[in-house]
């Protein structure tokens, strides 16, 4: 018989479920590093998993798009170049991912599947099961409600957990999620209407946390797409950006990359895909030495057009931002997403003073 | 230090270990060629050569580094003073930091124990003397932006318009011919304002930029001065620092909150290296060579009577010793004449290099001892505001590469030194004993987020005692200089000044050269402009009829060169600045630095 897509698992049983998962798959979850930071990392015991945590500064993007990703080894043998793809096919579970990050992973999956599909990313995405932990208490800097990426999800998860106190409400979104629950099916019960009501109340309370304020992406998008953002505004804002690329490194939806070959070792080189940043001047540097975007303001304009223009929204079906708030935390200047979106809407820049 | 924020180099730091060109095992030079060797063999060769030079009374020296950990630098000092029995121990770029520091002992600010960068962020006005702060010290630039966002104001002084100067309320151009005259004028204007007590009127219409800047300082309650090593000339840096110290004293005397004066070192652990005694005239803890307490502590830790003498500076060592040990640095990165530096290294009897990467210095070595890169080793570093922090190993070093502290310890052992700590914990404990300010830190505090701030720290407050005398002298000497150096360059005369700029180049940093992402810009620039670059003002370019990237002919008394121009708005007219990265290519024109008169024409 087909089981319900909504189940419940007692809090005291979750570790047993995790132990079953660990027996079959690699599990990556938010955990405490030796230095005390919270980070997504492979775990070896259910006790390693954090349940009450601030979303790690480094998103789980690296488990879909590694920062340095070997694509192929190549070597010259008898005058011919031999190329050997790097195969990586591990069944992995991303556990306790926040809603924004799960939306971002879906965004990346869709991006790499579009046009000329990238089979490396597709294979890795296919072997990844995403278990989210809905944000009953939204994080301080997040604005996921403005980008339709949280605090609770309606899509983009394989399993969504909601903390009900003594138990977790379990929503199964895909066959992969069903298989994961099926590893310890006896631990789960079908959800009762009361469980559903508690879950819905939790979502309503979480949404209420955000109040009436939003980032007004729609308004900014209209201004960008109707060319009502003056170049001088980008120029002014760029003076407040230190070009560090931090926003793009921690952004769960940024996917700009470069390609580089390792120096030969024993006659073998490896072609790698590396994270790049559109905020670096060399990102658009051409082989001739020409660079179409030397001015900092032009690079900033490009980044925010990509994130919040109607052109990309139509193509992607989503805003290129999931409202995780990491750019607010990591920005050395004042040009994080909410501050820039506000400047676009108002057509003026105050150095981020209104958001200080 | 960074509170989770990283600059461009920080985000790429892990790349260096993976992508950097590295020696994976020790190498020794045989018949003019470096060949792989075991650790025992390489250490044996290094120890034998160094011991032989020491026993024959030939000069030897050790270069520590602002890139190495406190533990590695402490061992470098022990290597010099205990094993080689010499006071020749220094680090590249230590001097330009000390030039700023020497004048900045601040009685006015001595009571303040606050975190320097946090104070900067709460300043009402920041006076920044810079080359280009956003590139050289992004974390401090972040502090400036935070202050501005809170409503603070910025006054910049520099060679050209930079990103920071775009945000400044007042920008004061420095004159290439008389670099400190502007600062002298600022101090003089402030003194006059304070005497008259009419700060506001001086800021009104018709006031000069210097008068407006002085007025802003006078009407602000919390004032901060940020000094970067904006010039390679030691006298310029010391005089500038003296003037700023004098101005800070005047501000304090005028009744404001004692100002913050923040001199900036070039490298991440320059302060730590300095604290560990990497300076030819100081003992660990920045104590004088005659300090009896410091001597007693070091005798106890090192278990012997070490060398208490002063020694040669880094630059002097490169030119004059017979044997040199270099730790985690490449002398071509900081030497004014990289070509001469390489020639000097090649002429040494013995050159032993501890490094993670292949550099021109390791290529010239007789013995290369490969050490772990950033992320592969543990230790502590000390930030510019005296914050001691741990760094931890995130990955094992590949092959037979050893952690730097261990490789240094092994060389001490091979030299038969009385001091060769057996573990990193023992070494840390020894530093805690030898340097009282570090000993005051509870070990657990090091593990807290952000590390622990040294109690008696705040770099300016630990200045050498020459400060007062220097400050008074500089004030008298420069105070009488004209307010603004006149630019002699006119369209008719076309007299030009050629001048070096900066003390280091971002593109030479191993974190940049080893990163496939970061190295693109400097690599492309150097490939496109192989004959070098000079910076020219846009106004001059218009007069001369050249565009960005065009080649000009530059002729001085000592030679002639064809070089590309890079145009820069807001730069002083009639001056060509030679970026530090291209100093070598134009050395035939400018000699050993300083400003020289040249003739310029379109090529």
DSSP secondary structure, B578-596, as one string: EEGGGTTTTHHHHTTSS-E
Q: Report how far residue B66's alpha carbon sits from residue B259's, in angstroms, rounded to the nearest whole number.
A: 27
Q: Which residues of B touch A (CB under 8 A)?
A: 4-8, 10-11, 15, 18-19, 21, 134, 138-139, 141-142, 145, 148-151, 163, 166-167, 390, 392, 447, 449, 516-518, 520-521, 524, 527-528
Of A282, A330, A333, the CB nearest to B4: A330
pLDDT at res. B206: 72
Residue B9's pLDDT band, with cuts at 50, 70 and 90, is confident
Q: Which of left, alpha, beta for B458 (phi over 0: left; psi -120 to 50: alpha)?
A: left
Note whether A180 and A350 are within 8 A (CB): no
Q: Which residues of A touch B (CB under 8 A)?
A: 34-36, 57, 68, 239-240, 242-246, 249, 258, 260, 262-263, 274-277, 280-282, 285, 289, 296, 329-334, 351-353, 356
Task: Note the ipTM here.
Answer: 0.93
Residue B15's pLDDT band, with cuts at 50, 70 and 90, is confident
pLDDT at res. B456: 57
Of B138, B149, B528, the CB nearest to A244: B138
- Cβ-defined contact of B392 to A34 (cutoff 8 Å): yes
Q: How far is A240 from chain B (nearest CA, A)?
A: 7
Q: Report how far residue A331's alpha carbon sits from residue A248's, in angstroms, rounded to the nearest whole number.
A: 10
- Cβ-defined contact of A334 to B149 (cutoff 8 Å): yes
- Cβ-defined contact of A281 to B516 (cutoff 8 Å): no
How many interchain CB pairs under 8 A, A with B?
A: 89
Q: Which residues contact A179 (CB under 8 A, 6 or more apart)?
A: A129
Residues B314 and B259 in one domain: no
Residues B164 and B189 in one domain: yes
CA atoms B391, B392, B397, B402: torsion sign: positive
Residues B80 and B124 in one domain: no
Residue A231: Cβ within 10 Å count: 11
Q: Which of B408, B73, B447, B62 is nearest to A34 (CA)?
A: B447
Task: Assign residue B520 the CATH number of its domain.
Answer: 2.40.40.20
Q: Both tokens of residue A12?
A: 């005291």
- Cβ-defined contact of B8 to A351 (cutoff 8 Å): no
- Cβ-defined contact of A332 to B163 (cutoff 8 Å): no
Residues B276 and B332 in one domain: yes
Question: Which whole-number Å values give the CA distances from A30 to A46, A133, A217, A327, in the listed order?
Answer: 11, 11, 29, 19
Task: Assign residue B250 the CATH number of its domain.
Answer: 3.40.228.10
Closest residue of chain A to B167, computed from CA coordinates: A239
Highest mean pLDDT pick, A14-23, B372-381, B470-479, B561-570 = A14-23
Domain boundaries, chain A: 6-69+88-209, 217-355
- Cβ-defined contact of A289 to B524 (cutoff 8 Å): yes
pLDDT at res. B484: 39
| Sites in chain A below the pLDDT cut of 70 | 1-4, 213, 355-356
Residue with tokens 């990193």: B424
Residue B2's pLDDT band, with cuts at 50, 70 and 90, is low
pLDDT of B52 over the 90 cut: yes
Whether residue B486 is contained in a domain is answered as no
pLDDT of B478 over the 70 cut: no
Which residues in chain B have Cβ-Cβ distances shorter than 8 Å to A276? 517
Q: Both tokens of residue B65?
A: 């580094």
pLDDT at res. B463: 38
Q: Which of A38, A275, A293, A333 to mutate to test the interface with B (most CBs of B within 10 A)?
A: A333
* φ, ψ (nearest 5 deg) of residue A212: -90, -10
Its pTM stands at 0.92
Of B5, B15, B518, the CB nearest to A330: B5
Q: Both tokens of residue B173?
A: 């151009």
Q: Report how far residue A228's alpha carbon sits from residue A131's, in angstroms, rounded to the nearest whole number.
A: 41
pLDDT at res. B488: 43
Residues B209 and B244 in one domain: yes
pLDDT at res. B110: 34
Q: Report how far residue A114's alpha carbon sits from residue A13's, in angstroms, rounded to the nearest whole number.
A: 40
Residues B68 and B107 in one domain: no
Helices assigned H by DSSP within B8-84: 8-19, 39-55, 70-78
Indicate the number of domains in chain B: 3
Which residues in chain B have Cβ-Cβ distances shorter than 8 Å to A263? 21
pLDDT of B455 over the 90 cut: no
Residues B205 and B134 in one domain: yes
Return the percent helix, strand and coil in chain A, to nearest 5.
Answer: 40, 20, 40
Residues B119 and B182 in one domain: yes
pLDDT tens column, B133-173: 999 999 999 999 999 999 999 999 999 999 999 999 999 99
Give residue B556's domain range.
496-602
Which residues in chain B have Cβ-Cβ distances shorter than 8 Å to A275? 517
Q: Average pLDDT of chain B?
A: 88
Q: Which residues contact B208 (CB under 8 A, 6 or more apart)?
A: B483
Residue B470's pLDDT band, with cuts at 50, 70 and 90, is very low
pLDDT at res. B474: 45
Q: Both tokens of residue B91?
A: 């680090």
Closest residue of chain A to B378, computed from CA coordinates: A35
pLDDT at res. A4: 60
Whether residue B416 is contained in a domain is answered as yes
Mean pLDDT for B46-67 is 98
Residue B323's pLDDT band, with cuts at 50, 70 and 90, is very high
Whether residue B598 is contained in a domain is answered as yes
- Cβ-defined contact of A244 to B6 (cutoff 8 Å): yes
pLDDT tens column, B356-398: 999 999 999 999 999 999 889 999 999 888 889 888 888 899 9
Residues B244 and B259 in one domain: yes
Dihedral angle at the C-alpha atoms of B485, B488, B490, B496, nearest 10 degrees? -110
Residues B107 and B244 in one domain: yes
Helices assigned H by DSSP within B421-516: 424-434, 436-439, 467-479, 510-513
Q: What proportion of chain B, given as a percentage, has pLDDT over 70?
A: 89
Residue B199's pLDDT band, with cuts at 50, 70 and 90, is low
Which residues in chain B have Cβ-Cβ distances shorter than 8 Å to A35? 390, 392, 447
Residues B306 and B416 in one domain: yes
Note whether B412 and B306 are within 8 A (CB): no
pLDDT of B291 over the 90 cut: yes
pLDDT at res. A321: 97
Task: Assign residue B410 the CATH number of its domain.
Answer: 3.40.50.740
Strand order in the sheet with B153-158: B170-173, B153-158, B125-130, B223-227, B260-263
């Amino acid at each position: 018989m087909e089981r319900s897509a909504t189940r419940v698992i007692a809090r005291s049983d979750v570790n047993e479920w995790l132990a079953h998962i660990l027996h079959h798959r690699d599990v990556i979850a938010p955990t405490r590093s030796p230095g005390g930071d919270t980070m997504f990392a492979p775990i070896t015991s259910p006790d390693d998993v954090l349940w009450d945590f601030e979303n790690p500064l480094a998103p789980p993007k690296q488990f879909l798009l590694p920062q340095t990703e070997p694509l192929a080894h190549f070597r010259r043998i008898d005058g011919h170049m031999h190329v050997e793809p790097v195969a990586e096919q591990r069944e992995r579970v991303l556990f306790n991912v926040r809603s924004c990050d799960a939306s971002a992973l879906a965004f990346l999956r869709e991006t790499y599947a579009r046009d000329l599909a990238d089979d490396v990313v597709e294979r890795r995405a296919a072997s990844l099961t995403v278990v989210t932990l809905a944000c009953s208490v939204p994080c301080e800097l997040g604005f996921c409600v403005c980008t339709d990426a949280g605090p609770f999800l309606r899509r983009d998860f394989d399993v969504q957990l909601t903390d009900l106190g003594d138990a977790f409400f379990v929503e199964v979104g895909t066959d992969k999620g069903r298989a994961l629950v099926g590893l310890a099916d006896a631990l789960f019960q079908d959800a009762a209407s009361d469980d559903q009501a508690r879950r819905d109340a939790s979502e309503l309370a979480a949404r209420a946390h955000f109040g009436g304020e939003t980032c007004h992406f729609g308004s900014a998008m209209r201004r960008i797409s109707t060319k009502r953002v003056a170049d001088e505004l980008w120029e002014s804002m760029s003076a407040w950006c230190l070009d560090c690329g931090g926003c793009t490194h921690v952004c769960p939806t940024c996917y700009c990359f470069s390609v580089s070959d390792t120096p030969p070792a024993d006659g073998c080189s490896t072609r790698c895909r590396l994270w790049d940043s559109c905020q670096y001047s060399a990102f658009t540097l051409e082989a001739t030495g020409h660079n179409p975007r030397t001015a900092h303001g032009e690079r900033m304009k490009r980044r925010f057009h990509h994130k919040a223009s109607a052109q990309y929204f139509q193509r992607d079906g989503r805003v290129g931002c999931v409202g995780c708030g990491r750019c607010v935390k990591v920005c050395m200047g004042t040009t994080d997403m909410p501050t820039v979106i506000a400047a676009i809407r108002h057509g003026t820049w105050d150095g981020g003073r209104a958001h200080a | 230090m960074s509170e989770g924020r990283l600059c461009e180099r920080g985000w790429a730091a892990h790349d260096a270990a993976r992508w950097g060109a590295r020696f994976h095992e020790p190498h020794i030079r045989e018949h003019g060629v470096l060949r792989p060797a075991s650790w025992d063999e390489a250490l044996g060769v290094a120890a034998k050569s160094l011991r032989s030079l020491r026993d024959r009374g030939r000069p030897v020296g050790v270069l520590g580094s602002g890139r190495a950990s406190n533990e590695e630098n402490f061992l470098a000092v022990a290597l010099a003073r205990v094993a080689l029995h010499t006071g020749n121990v220094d680090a590249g770029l230590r001097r330009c930091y000390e030039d700023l520091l020497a004048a900045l002992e601040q009685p006015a600010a001595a009571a303040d124990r606050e975190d320097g960068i946090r104070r900067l962020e709460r300043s009402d006005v920041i006076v920044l003397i810079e080359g280009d702060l956003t590139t050289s010290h992004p974390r401090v630039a972040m502090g400036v932006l935070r202050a501005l966002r809170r409503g603070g104001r910025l006054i910049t002084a520099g060679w050209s318009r930079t990103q920071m100067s775009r945000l400044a309320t007042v920008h004061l151009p420095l004159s290439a011919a008389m670099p400190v005259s502007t600062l002298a004028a600022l101090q003089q204007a402030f003194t006059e304002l304070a005497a008259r007590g009419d700060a506001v009127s001086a800021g009104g219409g018709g006031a000069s930029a210097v008068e407006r800047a002085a007025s802003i300082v006078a009407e602000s309650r919390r004032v901060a001065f940020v000094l970067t090593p904006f010039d390679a000339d030691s006298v310029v840096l010391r005089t500038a620092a003296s003037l700023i110290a004098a101005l800070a004293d005047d501000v304090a005397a005028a009744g404001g909150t004692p100002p913050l004066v923040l001199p900036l070192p070039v490298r991440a652990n320059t302060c730590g290296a300095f604290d560990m005694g990497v300076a030819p005239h100081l003992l660990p803890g920045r104590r004088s060579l005659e300090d009896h307490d410091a001597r007693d502590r070091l005798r106890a830790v090192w278990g012997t009577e070490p060398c208490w003498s002063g020694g040669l500076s880094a630059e002097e060592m490169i030119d004059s010793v017979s044997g040199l040990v270099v730790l985690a640095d490449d002398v071509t990165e900081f030497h004014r004449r990289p070509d001469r530096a390489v020639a000097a290294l090649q002429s040494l009897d013995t050159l032993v290099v501890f490094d993670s990467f292949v550099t021109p210095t390791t290529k010239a070595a007789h013995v290369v001892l490969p050490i772990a890169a950033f992320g592969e080793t543990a230790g502590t570093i000390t930030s510019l505001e005296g914050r001691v922090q741990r760094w931890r190993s995130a990955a094992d070093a590949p092959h037979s590469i050893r952690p730097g502290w261990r490789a240094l310890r092994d060389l001490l052992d091979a030299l038969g030194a009385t001091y060769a700590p057996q573990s990193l914990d023992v070494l840390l404990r020894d530093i805690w004993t030898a340097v009282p300010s570090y000993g005051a830190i509870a070990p657990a505090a090091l593990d807290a987020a952000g590390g622990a701030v040294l109690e008696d720290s705040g770099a300016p407050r630990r200045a050498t005692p020459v400060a007062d005398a220097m400050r008074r002298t500089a004030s008298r000497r420069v105070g009488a200089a004209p307010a603004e150096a006149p630019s002699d360059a006119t369209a008719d005369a076309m007299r030009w000044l050629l001048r070096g700029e900066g003390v280091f180049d971002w593109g030479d940093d191993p974190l940049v050269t080893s990163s496939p992402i970061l190295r693109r810009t400097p690599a492309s620039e150097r490939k496109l402009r192989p004959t070098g670059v000079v910076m020219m003002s846009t106004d001059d370019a218009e007069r001369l009829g050249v565009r960005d990237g065009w080649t000009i002919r530059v002729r001085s008394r000592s030679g002639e060169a064809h070089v590309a121009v890079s145009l820069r708005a807001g730069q002083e007219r009639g001056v060509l600045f030679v970026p530090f990265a291209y100093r070598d290519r134009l050395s035939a024109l400018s000699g050993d630095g300083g400003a020289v008169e040249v003739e310029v024409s379109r090529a």
